[in-house]
Chain A
Amino acid sequence: MRKGKRGGPLAGSRPNLMFMNTAVLFGVLVSAIPFIYMITASFRQQGELYSLPVTIMPREWHGHNYVKLFNDTNFIIWYGNTIFTAGIRTVLGVYFAALAGAAFAKYEFRFKRFCFFLVLATLTLPFHVILIPLFLLMRDFGWIDTYWAVIIPGIVGAFNIFLMRQYIEAVPDELMDAARIDGASEIGIFHRIIIPLVRPALGVVAILTFVNTWNDFLWPLVVLHDDTKYLLSIGIATMDGPYDVEIGAIMAASFLSTLPILIVFVLMQRQIIAGLTQGAIRG
């Protein structure tokens, strides 16, 4: 009840409310129009995008950009590559983050504070410091143009460990002790008690990892040079070069590559947002 009437400083009278609703709608429009333009641009005929007047909707709907995308570029291969690498990186990354999170949340050991300090340190170390030597290391490992280079470095994300620790702390100690009395091993406790209880958190970490890998550009650009090894981000970025395709086909590729991410987000927005904002409000 109390939350009802006077929530924020903007709350109040009728005209005020109308203003606020209009402002929200305006914001939605500004956010959405570039997306809508991307989608409609992908269905336009070549040349129509470069003619006046500028319209949001196509004068005629055409599918040839999609035909061109599938026939003339390696788009499908890039799509597969991206699903493969992002998938593996996500599964491994989530598992490792949960392990480390459990260690910090549920065990006492020497150097615990020091190790946690290391996690925080990686959070604040900018990636650009290690970019060059990391590339040279990949070269020495023979990992250039392999997915090892995309999957392995940085797979145990500091932010993910941080999140997992937060969630695993809520797992009741009594449950774990009861399992110990029943003779369960620590590894068994991790798999049979901790993991099932923090499944929602695993989902959040998984999605964040997946989206980050899906969208990452700079690192794949540095380590993948072979066109058939490309991930979506590099493939789409360089589509105008070797393939000489038009912007319409690029928009088609952009749309298709964004779609899965948007769908996942629509389905899980509440959990994702809660996960993202975890750390910040506590400072």
Chain B
Amino acid sequence: MSASAMTVNKRAKGWPVSGWWSRNQRKVIPYIFLSPFLLSFLIFTVYPAGAAFFLSFQRVRGFYSPEEGGGVVLEYKGLDNYERLLTKDKRFRTAIINGAEFAAGTVLIQMPLALGVALLMNAPHVRFKTLARLAFFAPYITSAIVVAWIFTLVFDERYGLLNAVIGLFGLESIGWIKDKDFVMPALIILGLWTWVGYNSLFFLAGLQNVPDDLKEAARIDGAGTLRVFWHITIPFLRPVFVFVIITGLIGSFSLFTQPYLLFDSGAGPQDSGLFPLMYLFFMGFDNFRMGYASAIGYVLTVIILLVTGVQLLLFRFWKV
């Protein structure tokens, strides 16, 4: 045994803690690395999720001031909140239907458009691609508040951009955010402007993953362009479809900022711009019915999980 090894050994004995540390740090360090995540997860996710569940069976009767130690005065209500929500609450039903309509608009209009944009961006020889990538992505990174303010100008009935454009085609002005029948189309248009480019990025990334040899082989076997697209490209895009549809659905039910601003902290004419998360917010922070709002949160989550589950099942069957 060499001298240096001896001294190392001696030092390790002299400092038991550091010896233990140098032997075990590889086992311990991952927990230390994970501790910020785990701590924040426990305090700011697990605890609130549990508290929300508890609150959803209560009625909040009052608030203690921070000097009194904080907290709320509660009254146990059993399943009352859920019963009311699911059987009697017409506004909640409206909010869910609006969310579903917006989701349908997202899936049926936005997705094909996004795929189209991606195909354009992926096609050879097409020009302006760098400019286009910037232009299509810019709306997504712009704050929803800014987008909403811009669209108050776009949707204005007398002086708005959109009515000026449709006026060019001889159409009459529309009260986009004043007429309850046009609120949903207006919001879907706003959604298209904001998210088509963003979603097309995912399709583009997916398209670039389709192996060229496979398409080439199919062509040599005599498949036409459309058949190659349908039988090779589309199946390869399956994970992108799943991702875009599911994030679109969750986003539709969680729409908040844009309608909140467009309708001046309200819900639009006859609740035509009311979305589930907005309703939760109004209940919790305008009416201070925080127990009821918590119940909304859970019912909403169950709805989203169910819809997502159905989607995933459908996609499992879609194998070409």
- Chain A residues near B49 (CB-CB < 8 A): 125, 129-130, 133
Q: For the complex, what is the distance from the CA of A215 to the CA of B258, rounded to whole Å?
A: 12
- Chain B residues near A130 (CB-CB < 8 A): 44-45, 48-49, 52, 297
Q: For the complex, what is the distance from the CA of A132 to the CA of B233, rounded to whole Å?
A: 44
Contact (A126, B301) CB under 8 Å given A103-B33, A139-B66: yes
A283 to chain B, nearest CB (A): 3
Q: For the complex, what is the distance from the CA of A103 to the CA of B261, rounded to whole Å?
A: 42
A156→B41 contact, CB < 8 A: yes
B136→A31 contact, CB < 8 A: yes
B126→A277 contact, CB < 8 A: no
B144 interface residue, CB < 8 Å from A? yes
- Chain A residues near B161 (CB-CB < 8 A): 33-34, 37, 54
A178 interface residue, CB < 8 Å from B? no
A142→B128 contact, CB < 8 A: no
Q: Closest residue of chain B to A274, judged by CB? A: B205
B37→A161 contact, CB < 8 A: yes
**A265 in complex: contacting residue of B40, B137, B202, B253, CB < 8 Å:** B137
Q: For the complex, what is the distance from the CA of A281 to the CA of B244, rounded to whole Å?
A: 10
A277→B149 contact, CB < 8 A: no
A52 interface residue, CB < 8 Å from B? yes
Contact (A100, B33) CB under 8 Å given A4-B124, A218-B256: yes
Contact (A185, B25) CB under 8 Å given A10-B119, A109-B31: yes
A10→B123 contact, CB < 8 A: yes
A28→B146 contact, CB < 8 A: no
Q: For the complex, what is the distance from the CA of A64 to the CA of B161, rounded to whole Å?
A: 23
Q: For the complex, what is the distance from the CA of A34 to the CA of B139, rounded to whole Å?
A: 9
A8→B36 contact, CB < 8 A: no
B285 to chain A, nearest CB (A): 7
B153→A37 contact, CB < 8 A: yes
The interface size of chain B toward A, counting residues with CB under 8 Å, comes to: 110
| Chain A CB within 10 Å, residue with most, of B37, B38, B127, B138 | B37
B71 interface residue, CB < 8 Å from A? yes
B144→A217 contact, CB < 8 A: yes
B117→A276 contact, CB < 8 A: no
Contact (A154, B40) CB under 8 Å given A54-B159, A126-B254, A136-B290: yes
Q: For the complex, what is the distance from the CA of A273 to the CA of B205, rounded to whole Å?
A: 9
**A51 in complex: contacting residue of B34, B40, B143, B159, CB < 8 Å:** B159
- Chain B residues near A11 (CB-CB < 8 A): 123-125
- Chain B residues near A190 (CB-CB < 8 A): 33
- Chain A residues near B276 (CB-CB < 8 A): 128
A-B CB contact pairs (8 Å), 30 listed: A6-B219, A7-B124, A11-B124, A17-B126, A28-B135, A32-B138, A50-B159, A103-B31, A107-B33, A112-B30, A115-B34, A125-B45, A126-B250, A126-B300, A130-B44, A130-B48, A133-B51, A135-B285, A137-B44, A154-B40, A217-B256, A233-B144, A236-B143, A254-B150, A262-B141, A269-B134, A269-B137, A273-B201, A280-B244, A281-B202
Interface residues of B, Cβ cutoff 8 Å to A = 25-27, 29-31, 33-34, 36-38, 40-41, 43-45, 47-49, 51-52, 55, 63, 66, 69-72, 117, 119-129, 131-139, 141-147, 149-154, 158-161, 164, 193, 197, 201-202, 204-207, 209, 212, 216, 219, 225-226, 228-229, 233, 238-240, 242-244, 250, 253-254, 256-257, 261, 276-277, 280-281, 284-285, 290, 293-294, 297-298, 300-301, 304
